[in-house]
Amino acid sequence: IYRRGIVMTIGNKKVYIICGPTAAGKSIVALYLAKRVKGEIVNCDSVQLYKYMDIGSAKPTQKDMKAIPHHLYGFVDPSDDITVAQYQKLAFEKIDEILARGNTPIVVGGTGLYLNSLIYKMSFAAKPINLKRRDELEHLAEVRGNEYLFELLSAVDPDAAARIHPNNIRKIIRAIEAYELGSKLESMDKLEPNTKYEFKINIVNMEREWLYTRINRRVDKLMEEGLLKEVKHLLSMGYNSETPAMKGIGYKELLLYLDGKATLEEAVNNIKTNTRHYAKRQLTWFKRYENAHWIEIQKGQMVGNVVDEILEASK
């Protein structure tokens, strides 16, 4: 099969997906799996796409990236807002290149919309944007607040509202625009699977209290590694609270601290709370995936055993 000058071997279509809530251990599981299946890792985390945001996004280490090929990490400027359509195109290109080399793609991450764009047949045909209407919506957000616009979206498209954070005003506006243009995304039960690839969907999870403990510990570790210094560096480069990537968890809370609107302790606690809430929303999202293999990691379980389970389920 020829695509973009690449020759792909017929029948070589297996693509592993390692997803799950934040801090559940997806990256290390993917790394061990890659060593077993001649794999290359493709990022599916929206924040890890960005440059200069290594600590807060918990990117794989340079050592791990040298050990196993990693793709789509740290190449987008924080001021750019990558659409699902753009991610889909980039990810499919990488997947096809990896398959053409005779290797195995391993898609890793927890950004639900990005995953959907791969495992379902989703078309992103360009539609005209009404700039006057966009200005109206932005003005409504300024005058009446983000919550008002989020409630507006919830009223017309509750499915979309369930997938978007109430403070992500840019995505809220886009979702309202999509609804008003008649291009509302269908619910998952109506989406048609993408059969071009043989997706092996694995959802890494663990007991909730242990997951929350891991999240809290990871936030403390990120602070020790220099997350606050990273945020200050981004500010010195000209990025601010209006920069798309700086609205991510870990960055927006520390920006409030640096702006004098919260103490450092409050900011760190808010990072932990918001990360736990995000993990809960991720789990709700992944529960909709049919034919996914759920892996409940136990305390003290060896990563190799988790990989054994993934390989056994993928036969």
pLDDT per residue as tens digits for the range 241-271: 989 899 899 999 999 999 999 999 999 999 9
Mean pLDDT of 56-72: 96
Q: From CA 193, how far away is CA 119, in angstroms rounded?
A: 6
Residue with tokens 């993934």: 310
Query: In this predicted model, which residue has the larger pLDDT, 12 or 49?
Result: 49
pLDDT in tens, 90-114: 999 999 999 999 999 999 999 988 9
Q: Quick one: pLDDT at residue 190?
A: 67
Residue 175 pLDDT: 82
> Which pLDDT belongs to residue 213?
97
Position 134 scores a pLDDT of 82
Q: Taking 70 as the threshold, does the pLDDT of residue 185 lie above it?
A: no
Q: How many Cβ atoms sit within 10 Å of the Cβ of residue 157?
A: 19
The amino acid present at 8, given as its one-letter code, is: M
250 burial via Cβ count (<10 Å: 0-12, 13-18, 19+): buried
Checking DSSP bridges between strand 14-19 and strand 198-206, what pairing results, if any?
parallel
The residue ranking higher by pLDDT, 181 or 220, is 220
Per-residue pLDDT, averaged over 292-313, amounts to 95
pTM over 0.95: no
Q: What is the CB neighbour count within 10 angstroms for residue 218?
A: 16
What would the pLDDT profile of 25-46 be if each residue is shown by its tens digit? 999 999 999 999 999 999 999 9
| pLDDT reading at 309 higher than 90 | yes
The yes-or-no verdict on residue 187 having pLDDT over 60 is no
Whole-number mean pLDDT of the chain?
89
Over residues 213-230, mean pLDDT:
98
* Residues forming beta bridges with residue 120, ordered by sequence position: 193
- The DSSP H or E segment spanning 39 is strand 39-43
Task: Supply the pLDDT for residue 126.
Answer: 53
Both tokens assigned to 221: 């570790």
Which tens digit of pLDDT belongs to each residue from 194-211?
999 999 999 999 999 999
- Model confidence band, residue 182 (pLDDT cutoffs 50, 70, 90): low
Instruction: Please give the structure tokens belonging to residue 234.
Output: 């981004």
**Considering only 44-53, 133-142, 180-189, 257-266, which range has the smallest mean pLDDT?**
180-189
The pLDDT confidence band at residue 181, using thresholds 50, 70 and 90, is low
Residue 7 has pLDDT above 50, yes or no: no
